C-alpha cells in the first residue's frame, strides 16, 4: 500500500470513530431528560464535529473524498445499547458507563493512529495528538461523572 493510501486510511478511521462518537452522544442525549447531561453530551458532539471537519480537510488535502461513515463495531455497539436500555433503563450511571466505554474505544483508536508506522507530516501528527489530548480530557470528565453517580 502506498504511504499516501495508508495515511488516508488512518485519517478515515479517525473520522469514523468520531462519527461513532457523535451518533453515540446523540443517542445518549435523546435518552435523558436531564438538561445538565444533555448540555454535556452536546458539548461532546460539538467537539467531535470539529474534529471530523479538521480530519476531513486533511483527507481532501490528500486527494481523498470526505468521510461520512461510521465503524461497523460502532454500529453494532449502538444496536446492542439500544436493546440493553430497553431492559436496564437510562439512569445516569448507565448512560455515563456506556459513554465511558465509547470514550475508551476512541482513546484506543487515537493511540493506534499515533503508534502506527504510517508516515505522516509533523502537522498531521500534531493535530492527531492534540485531538487525542482533548478527547482524553473528555474521557476523564465522563468517568468522573460516572464515578459520582455510582456513589
Helices and strands of the chain, counted as H and E runs: 5, 0
Mean pLDDT, 10 residues at a time, over the chain (151 residues)? Answer: 87 94 91 94 97 97 87 61 58 88 93 95 97 98 94 75
CATH architecture, domain defined by 3-149 = Up-down Bundle (1.20)
Q: What is the pLDDT of residue 81?
A: 61
Backbone angles phi, psi at 30, to 5 degrees: -70, -20
State pTM to two decimals: 0.89
Q: What is the pLDDT of residue 150?
A: 84
Asked if residue 81 lies in contact with residue 134, where contact means CB atoms within 8 angstroms, the answer is no
Backbone angles phi, psi at 68, to 5 degrees: -130, 5
Q: What is the pLDDT of residue 141?
A: 97
Amino acid at each position: 500500500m502506498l504511504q499516501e493510501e495508508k495515511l488516508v486510511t488512518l485519517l478515515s478511521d479517525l473520522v469514523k470513530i468520531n462519527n461513532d462518537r457523535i451518533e453515540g452522544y446523540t443517542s445518549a442525549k435523546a435518552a435523558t431528560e436531564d438538561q445538565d447531561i444533555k448540555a454535556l453530551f452536546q458539548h461532546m458532539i460539538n467537539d467531535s464535529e470539529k474534529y471530523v471537519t479538521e480530519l476531513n480537510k486533511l483527507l481532501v488535502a490528500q486527494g481523498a473524498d470526505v468521510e461520512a461513515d461510521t465503524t461497523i463495531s460502532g454500529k453494532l455497539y449502538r444496536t446492542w445499547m439500544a436493546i440493553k436500555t430497553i431492559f436496564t433503563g437510562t439512569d445516569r450511571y448507565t448512560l455515563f458507563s456506556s459513554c465511558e466505554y465509547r470514550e475508551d474505544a476512541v482513546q484506543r483508536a487515537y493511540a493506534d493512529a499515533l503508534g502506527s508506522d504510517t508516515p505522516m507530516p509533523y502537522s498531521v501528527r500534531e493535530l492527531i495528538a492534540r485531538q487525542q489530548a482533548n478527547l482524553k480530557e473528555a474521557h476523564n470528565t465522563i468517568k468522573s461523572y460516572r464515578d459520582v453517580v455510582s456513589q
